[in-house]
Amino acid sequence: EPEVTQTPSHQVTQMGQEVILRCVPISNHLYFYWYRQILGQKVEFLVSFYNNEISEKSEIFDDQFSVERPDGSNFTLKIRSTKLEDSAMYFCASRRAPAGGGNQPQHFGDGTRLSIL
């Protein structure tokens, strides 16, 4: 069964450094998402992306964050200058276009654990 893959599984970065988290969504999916989960807290929506542009973003997704689909397969999340509070699990998700008016579920990767020192 096709799945969303994320790399690396664990990223350790010094505060103030840039970090890029990578995701390969399921191949026929058109909608892409990033979520994060701080240890012990809820899964939080960051951003959704469709047709090469952001369709929605949360308050968390400030100017330090950006997303890109650089080619036909990858979907990346960049944090420009990391802060201690960016330490979290980051999950990528993808969804295919709705068929026949029905709803389609998002499918998640297993995440990247980002640790900021």
Partner 1 sequence: DAKTTQPTSMDCAEGRAANLPCNHSTISGNEYVYWYRQIHSQGPQYIIHGLKNNETNEMASLIITEDRKSSTLILPHATLRDTAVYYCIVRPRPGATNKLIFGTGTLLAVQP
Chain positions contacting partner 1, by CB under 8 A: 4, 31, 33, 35, 42-45, 48, 55-56, 58, 89, 91, 93, 95, 98, 101, 103-111
For partner 1, give the closer residue by CB, 35 or 75.
Answer: 35
For partner 1, give the closer residue by CB, 27 or 81.
Answer: 27
For partner 1, give the closer residue by CB, 2 or 16.
Answer: 2
For partner 1, give the closer residue by CB, 18 or 56.
Answer: 56
Provide the token pair at 61. Answer: 């997704």
Q: Yes or no: say if 21 and 76 are a contact pair by the CB < 8 Å rule.
A: yes
Shortest distance, position 113 Cβ to partner 1, whole Å = 8
Residues 1, 60: Cα–Cα separation, whole Å: 32
Shortest distance, position 87 Cβ to partner 1, whole Å = 15
Cβ partners under 8 Å of residue 3, min gap 6: 26, 107, 109
DSSP codes, 36-56: EE-TTS-EEEEEEEETTEEEE
